[in-house]
Structure 1
């Protein structure tokens, strides 16, 4: 086993590790990969006052994409493919991205996980007006924090992101501590193709018109009213009457897993997934990004690996793991590294409880001419899922630090009557956005939030503009390397305490990144006292922040 790595970081200054020695797969060779998968966005580089400025162009547009043989879908994309062009910059670069909107409706770009200035966060009606069809908007920010991030629409995101409107952005460290021979980005997602029946999913990823799709018309009304998804045909505990083919009732999660029937990696499924090529002895970095609405449990078949980052932030002193499931929730990112031992080809398979999991098998092979191996996934394998709260071993974190603000957020769901129909909404402290109570802070304050999930659905909670530290889980302090994140999956029955410093002025969204839940109410805001947005809301645009 070869782990050639040295890292240092503090709680105040986060330093990510990782740099490309040999760039591969995610479009680094555009002549080969521009027709098969995403590619690197071309940067126009110049200097201003001694600072490197990198400019990019992203065109939001409609198109079609082949996920696998026999499955072609209509997509919305950045620069013609989903995931869209990958943006790669270096820590300290000034980044300017011009969005051109060639879509039939307004859109925006949110830079998920990057602590950008508030005016650049891409939230229609909160930080900017949505970009109308035919218009442009330039996002301008400094790449302050190295790591693996992604970008996506935040205008009607449950529809626009679901159609494929997302991409990745990698901020490489200015002074890397670790060198990698291979650096791959693997974006996970779910799509719907023909043959699915039941609840309508219009406006999402459908198979060239073979699906009517989910009706999202009830999901938002301007930028001030989110009435939630119409689940009147779906069983919610004792409510509703939707059944499967055997006549048994299906709850919300089961319905969602049934409708999303194709799982993809970088926009491809099954045999169309591009193999990860390695050579014996190489130090390999894999960056996983979950752009979908479901948690994916990945298994590196027999290959020892180490988690180095989560949500772009470093994890210190993690053990070498083998045959453990890496559960990646919506919005989360995980970086792992391993040494290619040369003992033979293997696969990364998906142990998620879905028939579509068979599509998400990533071949790892030695050289381009070696035989592709896709081992059949044995669902009977009882493999433990990695629990990051118990995963690292170092000095204990003091859970008794004092905070200026402490607030409890109860994450749940309930049925409400809307226009004579029963509708499922997702709530924070019993309320739905925009009626949820904001978290009001002053700059410099230390904030502790208690996230409790008494319900039946996972809630991956994402905080814009800040990283937070996870300090306790179910009342137990985390002992280990500081766990810094921007997205945290709170599962049924779980309670987490998280803490952050209010160090980025603005009005910031805090919401569930299962965007069906967000669009149906599970959204609030962190608001800084005295902050005034730099834009004037335009009521004619139709701003819809989720």
Structure 2
């Protein structure tokens, strides 16, 4: 088994040599390696192919170190970031379906951290939720995550301790499980989307962090797996703090931790099959437009779509926590934009180029990111097939989740059925139960991307209209104001699992509940000194 440190050394040395030769931005998936055959090239470059933002780890045992570093968003703007292994995003992890994975988290930050494996159906004790599945990992300490990567797809990982702060500061990375029967692609790029504040290191950010820190102190020592927590619970949580957050403060949009001209181009050759894995690690939805090519959406949240059709000139809206994989054939030589559409201050920075290697002409493609192009509709896409669940079947458990926003005494909170976590009503299930959840967004102005841990759910209907295309399996679904979705899942992964909004400001301010299995007991004892704060 390779040493992760050794791998990092050689990749770093290799990158340094390339830089010295004025070859920065080179696509490592297509290196000239002399007389070696294609299969040898493929094996030797696999570790270097995916993202250009950080190293790629392909071992099944490695270490992630949480540490503070200066991070360059552009050539002119740097921020103090919290990183995994010194980069934002952290290392991309690529493992094989069925592979047993061991990840050692070492915390070199001043605050406790955890790692949540977003979308991966891991054992409950490996889910990385402080106070629910483990105690937060203290400064100077370590924790080892062990699980089997059973379901292929595009996932990501991030801290779940004070997430609205820690994810905001850069504690995330992509996690790819390559399927045994997965189609081979000539290029396989991962693009992690995020947004930053240009004044991130100013007093405004520090004040926000202090608010969340105060909120964490109110919740420290609480066992969130049990809602009957006595008088302390009445004083805890978002009711005690003003957690409203001005999203216009986010004015630098990034792809793989870089913005504008600092984003690496995506190199292709004519005739190649290209896969783009789009991951939203931020707190805002982003509408992505691929210029100049027909493409297919082959999966959402890592789950395959049946017989996807080609689309063109449509916007894919990717909500916080969601992932979309698209494929296209490089059949239109030139330089083509992949860009975000919208009118926010940071929109122009979220764009890169699809650049053909042998193209010698002048690019004529222009940005049109202020145009409102047609929106891609996932609920009517792909080939209709019979899924595991239907709208008219009888379910063991049915639950309605009224998502709303309240302001009390000038303080904003986000509620589920008029309550905030940890007072929200749990969804109690027995192993093997079929569960139907009716999600309704009654907030006037806020989107709510709802994420279920430990399970995939099937989306059955949107706003009263049944899903018409491929059976739609997801772990995150975004509701705009007025939206109503019905989803269903099987209780087949014992534990206590969070179900929450992945705008983590909303989660911190109360929009969290849990799916709890009857009779399940966590295998850890909550430590009052651990400062456990699951959001």
- Say what the alpha-carbon RMSD is for the aligned residues: 2.6
Q: Distance in 1 between matches of 2:253 and 2:344?
A: 9
Where does 1:60-459 land on structure 2 (aligned, <5 Å)?
60-176=66-182, 178-194=183-199, 200-202=204-206, 215-220=211-216, 221-223=218-220, 224=222, 225-227=236-238, 231=242, 255-256=246-247, 258-367=248-357, 375-395=365-385, 398-417=390-409, 422-455=410-443, 456-459=445-448
Give the secondary-structure state (helix, strand or coil) at the position aligned to 2:528: coil
Q: Alpha-carbon deviations, 1:358-402, whole Å to 9, x = none?
A: 001111001288679595533452311111112234246642121
Q: Does structure 1 retain, via aligned residues, the 8 Å contact 2:447–2:479?
A: yes
Q: Distance in 1 between matches of 2:57 and 2:121?
A: 21
* Structure 2 residue runs without a partner (length 5+): 1-39, 223-235
Q: Alpha-carbon deviations, 1:182-218, whole Å to 9, x = none?
A: 0000000001114999x933278xxxxxxxx784345
1:478 CA drift (Å): 0.8
Q: Alpha-carbon deviations, 1:407-438, whole Å to 9, x = none?
A: 10000110123xxxx21000000000000000
Q: Distance in 2 between matches of 1:414 and 1:192?
A: 26
Q: Does structure 1 retain, via aligned residues, the 8 Å contact 2:341–2:370?
A: no
Q: Alpha-carbon deviations, 1:94-128, whole Å to 9, x = none?
A: 00000000000111000000000000000000000
Q: Does structure 2 retain, via aligned residues, the 8 Å contact 1:22–1:181?
A: no
Q: Which has the higher helix share?
A: 2
TM-score, length-scaled by structure 2: 0.85
What is the match of residue 449 of structure 2?
Answer: 460
**Is 2:478 the counterpart of 1:478?**
no
Label 1:142 to 1:195 Cα distance change in 2 as closer, same or farther (>3 A). closer
Label 1:86 to 1:270 Cα distance change in 2 as closer, same or farther (>3 A). same
Label 1:370 to 1:267 Cα distance change in 2 as closer, same or farther (>3 A). farther
For residue 502 of structure 1, the aligned residue among 474, 477, 491 is 491
Q: Does structure 1 retain, via aligned residues, the 8 Å contact 2:333–2:359?
A: no
Q: Does structure 1 retain, via aligned residues, the 8 Å contact 2:295–2:311?
A: yes
Label 1:375 to 1:73 Cα distance change in 2 as closer, same or farther (>3 A). farther
Give the secondary-structure state (helix, strand or coil) at the position aligned to 1:309: strand
How many residue pairs get aligned? The number is 479
Runs of 4+ off more than 6 Å: 23-27
TM-score, length-scaled by structure 1: 0.83
Q: Does structure 1 retain, via aligned residues, the 8 Å contact 2:343–2:370?
A: no
1:405 CA drift (Å): 0.5
Q: Distance in 2 between matches of 1:74 and 1:259?
A: 17
Q: Distance in 2 between matches of 1:161 and 1:274?
A: 22
